[in-house]
Each structure stands twice: as C-alpha cells, then as structure tokens.
C-alpha cells in the first residue's frame, strides 16, 4: 500500500487530512515538531514522527509514495520564519521527494502566490515565499499538484468549491475542511499531476471541479 507523508500534520488542515487518512485505514506518516499535538489520533496505520523543519528531515521520506506539504510558519511569526518554513523547508521537501522518487507531491500554497506584486499587504513576504516554493516544485521533475486556497475559515465544510476566482475578496474565503477534502481527492488521482488549482467556497462537488 502507498504511504502518504503529511508535512505540517499538526496544523488545522494537516490534522484534518491526517485524521481522514488514518480513519480510512490508509498508511500515513504525520511529520510534526511535537508528537503530543496528535496524541488524540489513534490508528495502526498512523506513524507520527517528530522533526524540526528548520533542520534536516530526509529520514521522514523512507518508504513514502505521496507527500502533502501543508506546513506554514503561521500568521504571528516574522519574515524570517516565513523564509525558513514556507520557502526553505518546502524546497528541502521537494529535494527529498525527488531523491525518494515519490509519485505525487501536493503543495498547499495560497491565493496570490502566482503574482505577489498584485497584492499590497503585510502578507507579501509569505506570498513571495510561496511563489518561489511553487516555482521550485514545478521545475523539479517531481510529479506535483499545487492548490492555492483563498482566505481560510473554520466554517463547517460542505464539500462544495469553485476553482473560478470570485470578483471580491469576501467571496474568496473557503473552509479549511473543504481544502482538506480537495487535497484528499487529489491524492486519489494520478491525472491531476502538473496542475494548479485555486480553491474557493462554491457550489460544485469537488470531484466535478478538480479535473
């Protein structure tokens, strides 16, 4: 069976993905800084591994077929952590994935990462980091899918999305649960390699949109 490595598994989206995989009996390795954050998840197919993304973590890729990079520096950190996690750790993950010949790498990026200059805000360093990480993955030779969700909310997910960018920023929001569901769907599809999807709250079922 294929094993999926979730990098950033203790984050909100990462936990949703890890929990869903574990509950369905899919082999999953959760990479976290602190194992205690996932102590509530129990499964014979769940392997929780500790690592500091600012250091080396190539050992986490042993026996892995799929990688989901959903790690982030967080909204309260400075540009230094954004550089080290959202860019440099992502770059290292791509290198490790290439060396391990993984068959699928799903990168969780952000709306605006295609053109950081188009958004004047305090998150521009984050968007620049995501832009560079996405570009590095795209030219790496690693099979990839990139998702760029709009502003994230904790609303209850309904599994309804759109990939067409709305006109207003308010309409761009999407529940984290629906981002997780979209990623889990992509994980089951080989024909989505090489594609980039922007994700927003919408009215379409995930499997009817991500094609």
Give the residue numbers marked as catalytic.
Answer: 126
Parallel/antiparallel/unpaired status of strands 160-162 and 174-175: unpaired
| Cα separation, 190 vs 104, whole angstroms | 8
Q: Of 203, 197, 195, 192, nearest to 179 (Cα)?
A: 197
| Cα separation, 177 vs 15, whole angstroms | 10
Is residue 90 within 8 Å of residue 66, measured between CB atoms?
Answer: no
Parallel/antiparallel/unpaired status of strands 66-69 and 4-7: parallel
């Amino acid at each position: 069976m294929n094993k999926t490595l979730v990098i950033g598994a203790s984050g909100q989206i990462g936990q949703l993905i890890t929990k869903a995989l574990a509950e369905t009996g899919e082999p999953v390795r959760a990479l976290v800084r602190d194992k205690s954050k996932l102590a509530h998840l129990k499964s014979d197919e769940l392997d929780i591994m500790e690592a500091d993304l600012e250091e080396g973590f190539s050992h986490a890729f042993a026996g892995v077929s799929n990688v989901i990079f959903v790690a982030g520096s967080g909204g309260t950190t400075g540009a230094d952590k954004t550089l080290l996690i959202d860019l440099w750790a992502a770059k290292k993950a791509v290198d490790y994935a290439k060396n391990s010949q993984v068959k699928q790498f799903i990168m969780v990026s952000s709306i605006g990462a295609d053109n950081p200059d188009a958004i004047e805000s305090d998150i521009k360093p984050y968007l620049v980091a995501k832009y560079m990480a996405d570009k590095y993955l795209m030219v790496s030779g690693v099979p990839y899918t990139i998702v760029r969700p709009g502003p994230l909310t904790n609303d209850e997910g309904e599994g309804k999305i759109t990939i067409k960018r709305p006109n207003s920023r308010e309409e761009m929001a999407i529940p984290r649960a629906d981002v997780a569901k979209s990623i889990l769907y992509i994980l089951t599809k080989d024909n989505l390699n090489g594609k980039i999807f922007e994700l927003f709250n919408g009215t379409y079922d995930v499997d009817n949109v991500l094609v």
